[in-house]
Amino acid sequence: MSRLEREKVTVQKMLRLYCKNHHHEKSGLCPECQKLSEYAMSRLTRCKFGESKPICGKCPVHCYRPKERQRIIEVMRYAGPRMLFVHPIAAIRHLMDGRKANKH
């Protein structure tokens, strides 16, 4: 699986965790989170850095519109720390990818 594909999977898992605990969706995403997911996937697909993409917090280019950026930051702040308990392998891979990207 490529770096960007792993990033997409991680974002999806973070959104599901956030939506489940904030919007009480049992499976899948609520319409609001689904819309944010589609937006995030389109931004990742168009990322100009490709496979050498830095983690979003360290990226020099903010490709999200301000409203969506605030929403995704909220999701990441909530879900990020919980990922180690809910999806430990994805969390560790994300941390490793972030370290690799920072070295380039």
Q: What is the pTM of this model?
A: 0.85
- Which ranges of the chain have pLDDT less than 70? 101-104
Domain of residue 61, residue span? 3-103
**Which two structure tokens, joined as six digits, stand for 100?**
């690799």
Contacts of 82 (CB under 8 A, 6+ apart): 17
Give whole-number Cα distances, 4 to 28, 32, 59, 93, in Å.
21, 23, 14, 12
DSSP annotation of 46 reads T
Residue 79 CB coordination number (10 Å):
24
Question: How many folded domains does the chain comprise?
Answer: 1
Nearest-angstrom CA–CA distance, 5 and 25: 24
The predicted pLDDT at position 55 comes to 74
